[in-house]
Copies of this chain bind each other. A is one copy, B any other.
Amino acid sequence: MNGHVIRKSYLNFEGMKTINIIGLGNVGFHLAAGLKTSSRFRLQQIAVRSLEKAENEVPKELLVTDVNALKPADITIISVTDQAITEVSARIPYGNHLVVHTSGTSDMGILSDKNRKGVLYPLQTFSKGKEINFDTVPFCLEAQQAADLELLRTLASSLSRSVYDITSEQRRSLHVSAVFVSNFANHMYTIGSEICKEHSVPFEILLPLIRETADKVGYMSPKEAQTGPAVRFDEKTLRAHEHFLTNKTYKEIYQLITESIQNV
């Protein structure tokens, strides 16, 4: 029988938990991709506003254009803008199922009361142009009912090694922190690349520095890791840089962050 043993569950999709996703933005797109290889969860349907772009990204047969057309699923994941969460959750045609949002900012409570509520917040920066290794993505979970929290844990653990129970309050502070360490850090990269472009220096020279700066805070606190003219109170260099910067906004940012570094 060796080599011919097929587990009863092998082609039995019946035993798998089903997932619906509403919204195919950066988060929905990558969650859909992450679920592709799951042996315990099956992506059942994805609700999108328009088929046009979505058809190039996921199999057509999964797509519906109306939230109302969704069939009941064990977990429904809403990954739309914060403003739309309440309204979208109210349009779900079934009740008493687990419905979660993926927002860092919004309370669990903003979900419609017709379903059981939860949050599945993947703390990562998602862009459609780059694959994500879900293995290290921290998932922040919250649910009204213990059994639902357990189900979310099973889902998150099937995607990642890093799963946390996080309250709405804690999630809010994590999200603000994430804006600083990711969105704002990335904008510092944008300014750096603009300066390079303006002076015909390849931005690539800065990549090892960018990576080392990020890597360092895994070894020491960011406060200990701080280097550069601001923390050295190197006034001569600070004045030279301010003089160098002709863009008014960049100059303002330079002055404000320098001051903030010096006051830590």
Contacts and interface: CB of A to CB of B under 8 A. Distances in A.
B129 A219 contact: yes
A56 interface: no
B220 A127 contact: yes
Interface string A222-260: 111111111110101100110011000110111011011
Interface string A27-61: 00000000000000000000000000000000000
B125 A187 contact: no
Contacts of A220: 127, 129-130
A61 to B, nearest CB: 29
Nearest to A27: B227
- Describe A's contact surface by its main secondary structure: helix
B183 A216 contact: no
Interface residues on A, range: 35 or more
Contacts of A105: 229, 237, 240-241
A138 interface: yes
Most buried by B among A181, A188, A253: A181
A200 B183 CA distance: 22
A182 interface: yes
Copies of the polypeptide in the assembly: 2
Interface string A124-147: 111101101000111010000000
Contact of A229 (B136, B179, B240): B179
Interface string A105-134: 100000000000000000111110110100
Nearest to A200: B170
A30 to B, nearest CB: 11
A250 to B, nearest CB: 8
B228 A183 contact: yes
Contact of A224 (B127, B214, B228): B127
A2 interface: no
B192 A124 contact: no
Given A82-B234, A176-B195, A188-B181, A216 B125 contact: yes
